[in-house]
């Protein structure tokens, strides 16, 4: 079991990150409840030993049913596309902000002791240099997605102490790993690999010299567990690798691995996307004992093989 928490609710638990978190907690001996509307996730990703509730986090009655008897909540459910939020900003805010408030409302008088909120690097202002930024860096989001995540962070930090719950805010950077759902907007590694397997070049928006911090989903799972185990209530923490990788570097390596005769194609940069965003993980190391293990270049072969296996 993860610290004192025997029964844990994972919202969005049938999605990419959520299914990894849910399974890890189950194997750790916890009772796991998943609340998911299956808009992005799949019921098939969940072990039969996990209690599943199909529903929308914005529905308070469904949320109250899900938190019944729960010790802790990992709130992952969200619309997760920076690019799509620029067009569908109403839906983005509805799910990401109202959905978070609905979960907080459901947690009142529920017995929940800790609420871990999955935030994003999108809350930060753009960085002029590809150097690691700490949690104190300017929070001036340039996308509706980032605005909603920052607003939800502030709601969590404000409301949780008022209702007797310890909040922990984890700011995830670019998460990758096997099992990521293919969409046109999220998961550049998954998008590039699928295009190359189709015999198509990866498309890079902008000059490709934008730097990203790629963090393994396994390290995200570890961070979520540590957020429950440690005396970390009230903290806001970057969860990344601390390593800068350019989109050009990534695309060129994947081309060489899959289709050496193909080269990336370039299109105009998209609004709302940060040019440089690398995590300073000093605080997460100190507070949680967090130490990322997966480096992106070491996991590309596994991701490629997993994607190949799902396409057969």
Torsions phi, psi of 292, nearest 5? -60, 140
What's the rounded Cα separation, in Å, for the pair 233 and 221? 18
Q: Is 145 a catalytic residue?
A: yes
Read off the tokens for 124.
């930060």
What's the rounded Cα separation, in Å, for the pair 29 and 25? 7
Dmax (CA) for the chain in angstroms is 60
Alpha helices in the chain (DSSP H): 16-27, 60-67, 82-85, 89-93, 99-107, 144-162, 188-197, 217-229, 247-258, 282-288, 296-311
3-state secondary structure of 115: strand
Of residues 70, 57, 141, the one with CA closest to residue 99? 57
Rg of the chain over Cα atoms, rounded to whole angstroms, equals: 19
Q: What is the DSSP annotation of 187-246?
A: -HHHHHHHHHHTT-PPEEESSS--EE-EEEHHHHHHHHHHHHHSS-TT-EEEES-S--EE
Of residues 158, 23, 173, the one with CA closest to residue 101? 158
Catalytic, out of 117, 124, 137, 145 = 145
As annotated, the active-site residues are: 145
């Amino acid at each position: 079991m993860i610290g004192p928490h025997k029964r844990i609710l994972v919202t969005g638990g049938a999605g990419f990150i959520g299914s990894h978190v849910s399974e890890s907690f189950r194997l750790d001996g916890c009772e796991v409840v998943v609340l998911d509307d299956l808009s992005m996730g799949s019921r098939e990703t969940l072990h039969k030993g996990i209690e599943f509730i199909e529903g929308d986090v914005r529905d308070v009655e469904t949320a109250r049913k899900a938190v019944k008897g729960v010790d802790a909540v990992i709130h992952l459910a969200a619309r997760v596309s920076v690019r799509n939020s620029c067009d569908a900003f109403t839906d983005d805010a509805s799910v990401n902000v109202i959905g978070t408030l609905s979960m907080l409302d459901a947690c009142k008088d529920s017995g929940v002791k800790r609420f871990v909120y999955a935030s994003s690097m999108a809350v930060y202002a753009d960085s002029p240099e590809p150097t690691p930024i700490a949690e104190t860096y300017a929070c001036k989001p340039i996308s509706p997605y980032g605005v909603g995540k920052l607003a939800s962070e502030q709601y969590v930090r404000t409301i949780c102490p008022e209702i007797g719950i310890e909040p922990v805010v984890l700011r995830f950077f670019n998460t990758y790993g096997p099992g990521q759902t293919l969409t046109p907007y999220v998961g550049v590694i998954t998008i590039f690999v699928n295009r190359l397997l189709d015999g198509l070049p990866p498309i890079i928006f902008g000059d490709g010299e934008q730097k990203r911090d790629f963090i393994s989903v396994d390290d995200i799972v570890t961070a979520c567990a540590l957020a429950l185990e440690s005396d970390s209530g009230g903290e806001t923490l970057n969860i990344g690798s601390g390593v800068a990788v350019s989109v050009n570097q990534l695309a060129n390596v994947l081309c060489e691995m899959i289709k050496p005769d193909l080269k990336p194609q370039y299109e105009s940069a998209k609004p709302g996307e940060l040019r440089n965003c690398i995590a300073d993980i000093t605080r997460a190391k100190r507070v949680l004992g967090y130490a990322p293990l997966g480096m992106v270049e070491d996991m590309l072969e596994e991701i490629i093989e997993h994607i190949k296996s799902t396409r057969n």
